[in-house]
Structure 1
Amino acid sequence: MSVLDRARGGDTGAFAELIEPFRRELFVHCYRMLGSVQDAEDVLQETLTSAWRGLGGFAGRASVRTWLYRIATNRCLNWLRDAGRARPGADPAARADLPAPTRTGETIWLQPIPDALLEGLPDDTPGPEARYERREAVSLAFVAAVQSLPPRQRAVLLLRDVLGYRAAEAADLLGVTEDAANALLKRARSISFERPAAEPAGAGRGEAGRGEAGRAGAGPLSARQRLAASRFADAIEAGDVDAMVALLTDDAWLTMPPAPFEYQGRAAIGEFFRHVGLADGRRRYRLVPTGANWQPAYGCYVSGRAHGLLVITMRGELVSAFTRFLDNATLPYFGLPRSL
């Protein structure tokens, strides 16, 4: 008797064996859809519960993997439609003390994902329609850009350009016509790529992987890049704004999702960090190295207490963007304590 037949017969061990090869990639798919590690965990659990209950109706016309992606995608869409789960954004008027931002961007919800939760994903190209490399498709630039899309555009972009499903397959998974799926994809691509390539990762409406800046951080970092990221962190710990700024590209971005304030360039970022981040020398950080979205990351601590997470995007041997997450909720996923 096959594993599928045993699972259909109510064997929970067989069901676990059936879905285990896909658990990690389904979780990452939910993360891309929702931009939140916590929400992705919840929706994955809903997906597996629904799969267990609906296993008797699985006719086998598609693979188990595709069937699970259908459930997961539609669970994510339901989650996004639930107005009760809408998260409040930052109120621009509430921080009148901030230096004037380069731009007030879109308010998006975004959390970093630990590298440990990305391990074990398939290394090969998922399908013939895939346009993104495995690392590129979990970079902060890409995930942030995806969060700016309406839910169904978000879903079709991930199904086609990340997972590599053909147009007819994606349409079937979403329960729409092929023409409708193609129209959603066309619109999603135009929105994702509307920001110029010179504006790199970390901002909510990034180019998401096209051009050098959009692709920054997509591949494995060299030893020299990792050393440069470490020097950048050392400069922040030392409160040395000049040394920190010297390691930025001319067009670097500082973003702080879900706060919409964005700062570009060495002068603007230096002013922000000198007067707000470091509070004119009154605040000192201790940074604990980790990894997020396959990018260098650091747990931030002030006076021994957790103060969020910093994720760095490298272009060459300079920092092209850094994203400051003030929420401590994801620290346990990184194995980071609430206090030192």
Structure 2
Amino acid sequence: MSARDADAYLATLSADKRATLEKVRQAIRAAAPEAEEGLSYGMPAFILGKPIAGYSASANHCSYFPMSGQVIAKLAEELNGYEISKGGFRFPIGKPPPATLIRKLVKARLAEIDGAAAAKKAPTRRAAAKKATVAPPEVGAILAELKRGASPAYKADMAKRYGIVTKAAVYGAPVATLRALAKKIGYDHALAEKLWASGVHDARMLATMVDDPALVTPAQMNRWVKDCDNWALVDTACFHYWDRTPHAFKQIEKWSKAKDEFVKRAAFALLASCALHGQGSDADHLRGLQLIEREASDLRNFVKKAVNWALRAIGGKKSPKLRTAARALAQKLAASEDATARWNGKDALRAFGKGA
């Protein structure tokens, strides 16, 4: 059971159907990032112990399957306007359901599964009482914990060793500390906004790890990216977070035209992240190669390296079409009269030669 099963299914579809279902796939993944991909009833599905969502394409429409008739009944009002079929609902090719609706369907299915498990093993009164007293984490308490977990040695190394330079306040919490804290907190969109608003670099790094990709809006992404003033924050947001939103490729297109160095880096770091994590269609990444060619001569260090990263990432995908196109672009850039474009092409060709 793997994402390759879904990739193989999607590869058999026409471009319009594939692009439609890729958006559905991304929205499901954003709503349940811990789920595994595979096949259920012969169609691509996400599975978390039990199937939680599936999708398919037919001659004249696409379908979504919440894997539960009870979920369809529970969200009947939300599904008004869709044609309900056996076990799911249909939608037009080119018009996938909104990510917010898919999130509700996935969460309803997960709640149904959790409810069935809880019915088999009800908690004791003491456990229930203890759970009821657990309050959501407060920003002040989290900032205090970040300070306690800070490392003076890591803080000193941030600029000197890793090139992480920021105007924001810095505690020096190592990434491992941030990840452990994020795992303990879980997804919390409201908390993520508060952490970001604190203006502390460590808290903003943590915010990208606890925010819920399914709840992120383009406006929020635009607001946050303008606050980014170092590569570490940009890359963490793109690689662990923004690439799982349904807005990734629209933001790539927009940010690739930015004048700000780190906003523009975000465009290509996000493109690389999507390529590495199997997000997007071949058409999305072929468009990405066009953006890479257009911006390959930007000599600013953090843009140049992100453009190069994106080119290598797309060239490393399994798609023969993308591998061929990325190598052709790398050869073209390697022969460029522009020194930056030439470096991008030659470095990518070296990586491809090593099997990257």
> TM over 0.5: same fold?
no
Write 1 or 2 for the structure with the bigger share of strand: 1
Write 1 or 2 for the structure with the bigger share of helix: 2
Higher relative contact order (CA 8 A, sep 6+): 1
Normalization by structure 2: what TM-score? 0.29
Mark the structure with the bigger radius of gyration.
2
